[in-house]
Amino acid sequence: MEIKIMKNILNRNQNKADEVRSLLALKNVLMVNIISSPGAGKTTLLEKTCETLAPKFRIGVVEGDITTDRDAQRLKKYNIPIVVINTEGGCHLDSHSISKVLDSFDLDNLDILFVENVGNLICPSQFDLGETFKLAMVSTTEGDDKPAKYPMLFREARAILLNKIDLIPYTNFNRGNFRSDLKNINSKVPLFEISCTRGDGLRNWFDWISDQNLKPNLTSSRL
């Protein structure tokens, strides 16, 4: 019975996700679902990305969090549309919550919609939001075993961001192990090794995400 209930939940979510994806494709809006553990650096990445790309692209952000709007407050200075979704204990966003907030954005005047999902590597990976693609973000301070322990996210992500590389000398993070596990799971996915605080590698990320926006974005994240 429990398996049947979960299947129904996922089916309803998928139906709504397909509706969201069709709408965003019609409006030619790229939606990026950023998934990471708490503290990996999602909001700092968005700060750096908005600072550099907001003059070039029309950016919007959906901030998903269990409570508070603190992450959204950090992004207000970039004068972009931001909507906060508080899940009040829920461990992930779903397509229904995304569908409800899309009316808050002027989709005809938006190029990229970043979704900062709730900090969690498991549940957010299972729920399609209608995104163009998932972006997986991990930090070196979490350890090098995340691809092996959470393969679903790394298998589905279109790109991987490894943040806080400046802290590797102070951790037991093994680059070789991380890259090897990632290759075994998704050998073709691009990996960006970055430091959001120091700026290392961010130019490559900016160029890549800009290139994604210039390409047709009708592709489902489920392909």
* Distance from C-alpha of 20 to C-alpha of 64, rounded to nearest angstrom: 17
Q: Please state the rounded mean pLDDT for residues 49-67.
A: 95
Specify the fold of 2-214.
Rossmann fold (3.40.50)
pLDDT at 2: 43
Domain segments of the chain as ranges: 2-214
Whole-prediction pTM: 0.91
pLDDT at 53: 97
pLDDT of 3 over the 70 cut: no
Angle CA 81–73–127, to nearest 5? 65
* Distance from C-alpha of 60 to C-alpha of 99, rounded to nearest angstrom: 15
Beta carbons of 45 and 17 less than 8 angstroms apart? no
Q: Please state the rounded mean pLDDT for residues 201-219.
A: 81
Tens of pLDDT along 160-178? Answer: 999 999 999 999 999 999 9
Helix/strand number for the chain, H first, E second: 9, 7
Q: Which residues pair with 84 in a beta bridge?
A: 63
pLDDT at 11: 79
pLDDT of 1 over the 50 cut: no
Tens of pLDDT along 10-51? Answer: 678 899 999 999 999 999 999 999 999 999 999 999 999 999
Share of the chain above pLDDT 70, in %: 91
pLDDT at 13: 87
Q: Please state the rounded mean pLDDT for residues 112-141.
A: 96
